[in-house]
Amino acid sequence: MARAAYDDVVLAAPVTVPYVRYSIRGAHWFLGRALARLIAAAKIPKTRIDGLAAASFTLAPDTAVGLTQHLGLTLRWLDHVPMGGASAIVSIRRAARAVQGGDAEIVACIAGDTNHTDSFRRNTAAFSQFARDAVYPYGSAGPNANFALLTAYYMRTYGARREDFGKLCVAQRNNALKNPLALFKQKLTLDQYLNARLIADPLRLYDCVMPCAGAEGFLVMPRQTAERLGLRFARLLGAVERHNAFPDDPVQYRAGWALDRDQLYAQAGVGPEEIDFVEAYDDYPVINVLQLEDLGFCGKGQGPEFIRANTFEVEGTFPLNTSGGQLSVGQAGAAGGHLGVVEAIRQLTGQTLGARVADARRGLASGFGMINYDRGICCGAVVLAAA
């Protein structure tokens, strides 16, 4: 059965609560600032928000439920999305159907986390039952270890070189240098990348995302509402999500995008060749490559060749992670997946903080999250179009 289209569901009001490496604030502060920025950007009273989809790792013991009272929201639709880097995509899918069905009119999709000096260790130590039982006791390296294993396997199997991953990181840094909110403000050379401190072989320092505090948010609403409010918006053409795909692969070299990309492009009515820019989930460069392959921009195993053939910078060929991505902006916990969606909305509505892709009409944003044990479980992608 063909999935119903997302006619006239739009995304608007992309906001970012500026990132900081460490904060003494709680997660509620960052999510509260995100909501405040959303209503300021949309020029609506708080009471107009009637739906909320929230994602955060450091909100405990609260969930989205606690946020309603904490932030004084009276809602008729509420979702807590504990899917890490896939939360933005999943929030969009949930919110879009709610808006289409009239269960909510304006859904705030927010994600954010605080980062105290010991937060990351605490979060990884108790990330999941499988991680606590069967990963953390092996060196307590958190996702660095998982992605090192994935990267080592990918390099060995498909002939990728450190220089290939380095090229992506350098290109993203160049994109970030134009984004005033990026935490990394220095140019990164390939030499610096290759010779950085070893973290988990073959990963070195600039392969690893930097945890920080911050928040991202956007609104999902019917097109008519956006027009009435005078908001610039991006249209939702297609969206997919998949959890625990390919469970029998000994090492994750592909994820759910490979199962769902045909449906994504069929629903969107556009193919990968018609996408003007991509916001991929990039906590480590290898996962960028998996997305480029699984989302059909190149074949499986052709990632290295594809990297060598493109520049990935905003003004170059195949603009990728145009705000700098998490690798150069920072990873504000669960906001990591929202970063790409927010940047995609900015690109398609002409509100970029940094450089804008010339004539950007269609963008793809994808999410990936939750290294529950040996691989990322949740993934998804959306195709957005300019109004």
Partner 1 sequence: MSRMRQDANVAEPRPLRRKNPVLRTRRPTLPPSARSRIALGLTAAAARGRLELQVCQDCDAVQYPAREACRACLSDRLVWRLQSGRGELSAETVLHAAQELFFRERLPWRIGLVHLDAGADVIAYLHEKVSAAPCRVRVEAALDRAGQAVLVAVPDQGRSDLSDDAKLREMTCDPRGRKVLVTDGKSPLGQAAVRALAAAGADLVWVGEAEPWKKAAGFEGLRALPQATIVPLDVTDSRSVRELAGEIGAKVDILVNTADCHRTSAVAARRGVEIAQLEMDINYFGLLRLAQEFAPPLKARAADGSASATAWVNVLSVFALSNYPPHGTYSASKAAALSLSQALRAELRPAGVRVINLFPGPIDDDWDQLVLPPKITPAAVAAALVEALKGSVEDVYPGEVAQDWCARYLDNPKVLERELTEEAQ
Binding site for partner 1 (CB under 8 A): 120-121, 124-126, 129-130, 132-142, 144-145, 148-150, 152-153, 156, 197-203, 247, 250-251, 373-374
- Nearest to partner 1 of 7, 249 (CB atom): 249
Helix axes 285-294, 162-176, angle to 10 degrees: 100
- Nearest to partner 1 of 199, 229 (CB atom): 199
Do residues 232 and 221 touch, judged by C-beta distance below 8 A?
no
Cα distance between residue 140 and residue 87, in whole Å: 25
CA–CA–CA angle 248, 254, 256 (5° rounding): 85
| Smallest distance, partner 1 to C-beta of residue 222, A | 41
| Residue 104 Cα distances to 53, 79, 108, 345, angstroms | 11, 12, 10, 21
- Nearest to partner 1 of 154, 277 (CB atom): 154
Per-residue b/e over 228-267, b at no fewer than 16 CB within 10 Å? ebebbbbbbbbbbbbbebeeeeeebbebbbbebbeebbeb
Do residues 54 and 344 touch, judged by C-beta distance below 8 A?
no
| Smallest distance, partner 1 to C-beta of residue 336, A | 19
| Smallest distance, partner 1 to C-beta of residue 194, A | 15
| Smallest distance, partner 1 to C-beta of residue 204, A | 9
72 membership: H or E segment, kind and range? none
| Smallest distance, partner 1 to C-beta of residue 56, A | 21
| Smallest distance, partner 1 to C-beta of residue 154, A | 9
- Nearest to partner 1 of 151, 174 (CB atom): 151
- Nearest to partner 1 of 146, 322 (CB atom): 146
The two tokens of residue 300 are: 């499986």
Pick the closest to residue 384 from 352, 341, 354, 355 (CA basis): 341
- Nearest to partner 1 of 104, 135 (CB atom): 135
- 3-state DSSP assignment of residue 333: helix
